Amino acid sequence: MRFTRQLVHSRPLRPAGKGRYNSGAGGGRQDGCRGGGSAKQSCSCVATGLRLLVMKHHRRIDERSLAFGHAIAARLAEQPELIDHARATLARWMTTCSPRSRSTLQEWESALTGPIGGVLELLTATDERATRLRQSNPFAGLLPEQERLAILRQLERCEAHDLARTGPLSPVLGGEG
């Protein structure tokens, strides 16, 4: 599973100039702890690493949602009647959603009854509100599978380029060296 691989081979938690995790020299720790060697410190560093991985994972999800949002916005600008698809999806979701999700869906409902420019903005903006709303995008299923897969492949190429640019990954969850 990709996420598990990323979990075990995460980037270092501190700059390279402050010690390497797998240097082997000086019997340094390999788990990212800055000293002491207590289990509490080790857990703290692992938890920090996990938080960084989760943040990175969420950023990737947000990037994917934004890419899909741009593709959907392009289609919607050409075919405004596609907004009916989102309205039908939203109506279906409203009948089964949790109380916690209802306010987000109501925000979409309000946007879908307003000018199309507002909907296009939500699909393509990078602000916090648009990012949050795209997590429950009622245009789900609108893109053809081939277009969706092309977007995913492009995002994978970008991620591979980022990894090549930043260099090899270092283990975070190691034991004592």
For residue 162, being part of any structural domain is answered with: yes
For the chain, the domain total comes to 1
Read off the pLDDT of residues 144-177 as tens digits, 9 standing for 90 and up: 999 999 999 998 888 777 766 765 444 444 444 4
What's the rounded mean pLDDT across residues 109-115? 96
What's the rounded mean pLDDT across residues 95-112? 96
For residue 21, being part of any structural domain is answered with: no
**Cα distance between residue 143 and residue 69, in whole Å:** 10
For residue 10, being part of any structural domain is answered with: no
For residue 174, what are its two tokens?
């190691």
Q: From residue 39, how far is each of 36, 43, 176 by CA, in Å?
A: 9, 6, 11
Cα–Cα–Cα angle for 167, 171, 177, rounded to 5 degrees:
125
Read off the pLDDT of residues 11-52 as tens digits, 9 standing for 90 and up: 333 333 444 333 334 444 344 444 444 444 445 555 666 565
Are 32 and 46 contacting, i.e. CB atoms less than 8 angstroms apart?
A: yes
Are 149 and 118 contacting, i.e. CB atoms less than 8 angstroms apart?
A: no
For residue 18, being part of any structural domain is answered with: no
Taking the model in full, what pTM does it have?
0.63
pLDDT over 70 at 140, yes or no: yes
Where is pLDDT greater, at 66 or 20? 66
Q: Which domain holds residue 137?
A: 59-166
